[in-house]
Structure 1
Amino acid sequence: MARGRKQGKTSWVVRFVVRPLLIVFAFTILWVLLYRFVPVPFTVPMAKDFIAGKDVKRDWTSLSNIDSDLPRAVIAGEDAKFCTHFGFDTEAISKAMEANAEGRKLRGGSTVSQQVAKNAFLWPGRSWLRKGLEAYFTVLIELMWNKKRIMEVYLNVAEFGIGVYGAEAAARHYYDKSAKSLTRSEAARLVAVLPSPVKRDARSPRGYTARYAKRIERWIRIVDNDGQDSCLGI
Structure 2
Amino acid sequence: MRDRGLKKKGFAEAELATAWQVASLLLGYPDEELLARRPLLRRAVAGLPAAAGTPLGGFLDHLDATLLRELESDYVETFDHRKRCCLYLTYYAYGDTRKRGMALLRFKQAYEAAGLVLDDGELPDHLAVVLEFAATGNLTEGRRLLLEHRAGLELLRLALTESRSPWSAVLEAVSATLPPLSGRNEEAVARLIAEGPPEEEVGLAPYGSGAGTSGPVFLPDPVLEARSS
Query: Shared fold (TM-score greater than 0.5)?
Result: no
Structure with greater contact order relative to length (CA < 8 Å, sep ≥ 6): 2
Considering only CA atoms, is the larger Rg found in Structure 1 or Structure 2? Answer: 1
TM-score by length of 2: 0.31
TM-score by length of 1: 0.30
